[in-house]
Amino acid sequence: MDNGLWPVICLEGMPPELAVKNDGKNWQNPHPPKGPPEYLKWQHICHEVVRHCRAKWGDAIHNWYFEVWNEPDARSYFSGTLEEYLKVYDHAVAGATSADPAIRIGGPASAGAEWCRPLLEHCASGHNDATGGRSCRVDFLSWHIYTVGAGIPVFDVLRMDCEAVRQAINAVPQCKDIPTIITEWGGASSHHPVHDRPFDAAFRTMAVRCFSITTSRWRSRFASVKDRLMRMKDFKAALPCLPKRRFPSPAFARSNCCAA
């Protein structure tokens, strides 16, 4: 944050004690809560996360993005149904905003655009499981884009995904002005040789241009850094900008190009 970055806080992972199932993944547990009491406990967890952030960083957290879950439309990250995710979302919003109403909170951080429209429709007029009323707060719409299928980055995938999200927003008039944020994007979402190829920096730089052109008619941001510690034998095929041994990756070079 000292360098002007705004974090995206992902409210994800159901404590095994609350979930319908325990796969031994601890905080990465992808299963939804067992029932109403467990949903309320999940709501309290989200409250405590934001309360902690508020106590430590103060009003600075109003610039952050609190994102409910990570790729709930992907079975490896969320085993529940869309309806169960919407309940998880309702209670996360209720808990987080009770700690600080001024934060920005949204989702669904989906692997594609498929769950974007259902979330918007739910937030516009659906039943809110946390309050018992209608509608739910959503301050931004988020999703992820990765282009590698056969190992070759394809710009058409970026354009099509952005267009699909635009159509989802247009289909829900109450949300026509909602900001969007691409919180994960790149050539591949996992360890893949594309991350170490020289053209990856050029691809990512052109992807920024593609996002800017495609989303110029509606408000959109895109997160530019995905960095985390990896247990790897070397620095090859890594997701972070500065992998093991702190060796700059092509993604790091792209960040420098875009910042220049």
* Domains defined along the chain, listed by start: 8-259 (3.20.20.80)
Of 113-127, 134-148, 191-205, least confident by mean pLDDT is 191-205
Q: What is the pLDDT of residues 199-231, one digit of tens each?
A: 666 677 777 777 666 665 555 555 544 444 444
pLDDT at 257 > cutoff 60? no
Q: What is the pLDDT of residues 64-105, one digit of tens each?
A: 999 999 999 999 899 999 999 999 999 999 999 999 999 999
DSSP 225: -
In the structure, what pLDDT confidence band is assigned to residue 156 with cuts at 50, 70 and 90? confident
> pLDDT at position 256, please?
58
| Three-state SS at 167 | helix
Handedness of CA 32, 91, 16, 70 (dihedral sign): positive
Half-sphere exposure of 161 (CA within 13 A, CB side): 26
> pLDDT at position 61, please?
97
> pLDDT at position 6, please?
84
φ/ψ bin of 214: left (φ > 0), alpha (ψ from -120 to 50), beta (otherwise): alpha
Q: What is the pLDDT of residues 160-204, one digit of tens each?
A: 888 899 999 999 999 999 999 888 877 655 555 555 666 666 677
Distance CA 72, CA 10 (A): 12
> pLDDT at position 42, please?
98
| Pairing of the two strands 141-146 and 180-186 | parallel
